[in-house]
Amino acid sequence: MTSALLHSDVDREFVRKAPDSPTPAAHRHVTKEPTMTTTTTNSTLFEIDIESRFAAIVDQLTRRGFLAGGITAAGILGLAACGSSAADDPASAAPTRTIEAPLGASLVVPSEPKRVVALGASISNLCELGVPVVGTWTNAENAVPAAYKAAVAKLPKVQAADGTIDVEAIAALRPDLIFVWSGVSALERIEKIAPTFVYDSSSSITWQQRAQQTAYAVDKINAFDVARKAYRAEVARIRTAYAAQLANNHWYVVTPWDDANFQLEAVSTPGPAALKELGARFGKQQKHADTAANGGSKLSMELITDLSDADAMIFDDNGYGSTDGTLISANGRHLISQPAWKRLPAVTSGAMTVYNAFNIDNFTSGTAYLHAIEALCKKLKG
């Protein structure tokens, strides 16, 4: 596949902050983070004519009857095991292809990777695409959809929670492709083990763009195209069906920070970005979150009452993996125990849901989040 440079084919409002740890979402608010400076992407992405591909792919699938039953994105892609037997032979002799990596370097990779190591990268995308993963980072299971959690939990962990990478352990897994963020201290040693696809952690790219990069690297861009089309169809359906509930109520996405503070998420993060795309109206405090550094406005517990204008809220529980209303983090339980929190209109009316929106980086979790918003809309007046 020939690639050129991409600038805007995937929606720009889905912006993720640059990670500063191997598990950027899972540990983002456990400790105070340094302010990250992001740059606008230019030559770090790939030009892929998604819409024209969709036309051909959907036409082909429809004629074959695959879309007639309303098949979901997950159904199209298939649920991956996210694991590979250690006895499998590495694909060193397998056919290869040359791709353009995000940082501008050409990279020779297996045409069909068989033993992939994902370090602080989009393991959810690899699972969703059916790519065999043989090693990953500590706590990666907290950042993937429920369908992949058990398999990912069993994978060898070659990167610690503090970012330390066990290069020897990676080599022992005999990977044929490695995914990693830029800036890791052991990068030069890692690159000597196997072809290494380096995500640019300094750039402000969307979760859909990163998912596209991952699909491109493993030669599954067609699967990405079909999944994205299904996701976009859900966006359009919910935006139309619940236009009044989304536009006539005030929305916030709130994240617990520590025992003294919480954060109001900015529209540059996945949770509010999806709400914005659906046509949601935010509360009056949103403007402060959108102009703050680090993707949101950190507020003290004394300012909980500033959320009183919210009719509906998404509670992003500290970057942990809950999508069923269960509060996992101690900080999350502490925030909802505050008397002022319990008196918020959105809380007393039951118009709050718990969803790990910050960890959205694939179409499975992205679609599930849309459905969580839809469930809230059903509780609201138009």
- Which structural domains are found in the chain, ordered by start? 39-228 (3.40.50.1980), 242-377 (3.40.50.1980)
Torsion of CA 126, 132, 136, 139, to 10 degrees: 70
- Could you give the CA distance from residue 326 to residue 336 in angstroms, rounded to a whole number? 12
- DSSP designation for 37: P
Asked if residue 207 lies in contact with residue 143, where contact means CB atoms within 8 angstroms, the answer is no
Distance from C-alpha of 366 to C-alpha of 63, rounded to nearest angstrom:
27
What are residue 133's DSSP bridge partners? Answer: 116
Cβ-contact 38, 203 below 8 angstroms: yes
With H, G, I as helix, E, B as strand and everything else as coil, classify residue 203: strand
The residue type of 252 is Y
pLDDT in single tens digits along all 382 residues of the chain: 333 223 233 332 323 333 333 434 333 433 333 233 333 333 223 333 434 443 443 444 333 333 333 334 444 444 445 765 444 455 445 699 999 988 877 999 999 999 999 997 789 999 999 999 999 999 888 888 888 989 999 999 999 988 899 999 999 999 999 999 888 889 999 999 999 999 988 777 889 999 999 999 999 999 999 999 999 999 999 999 999 999 999 999 999 999 999 999 999 899 999 999 999 999 999 999 999 877 899 999 999 999 999 999 999 986 554 455 566 688 888 999 999 999 999 999 999 998 888 878 899 989 999 999 999 999 998 8
Q: Among 70, 9, 19, which Cα is nearest to 45's?
A: 9
CA–CA separation, 375 and 20 (whole Å): 33
Q: Within 10 A of 64 (CB to CB), how many other CB atoms are there?
A: 9
CB 265 within 8 A of CB 296: yes
Length of the chain: 382
Q: How far apart are alpha carbons 179 and 14 in whole angstroms? A: 21
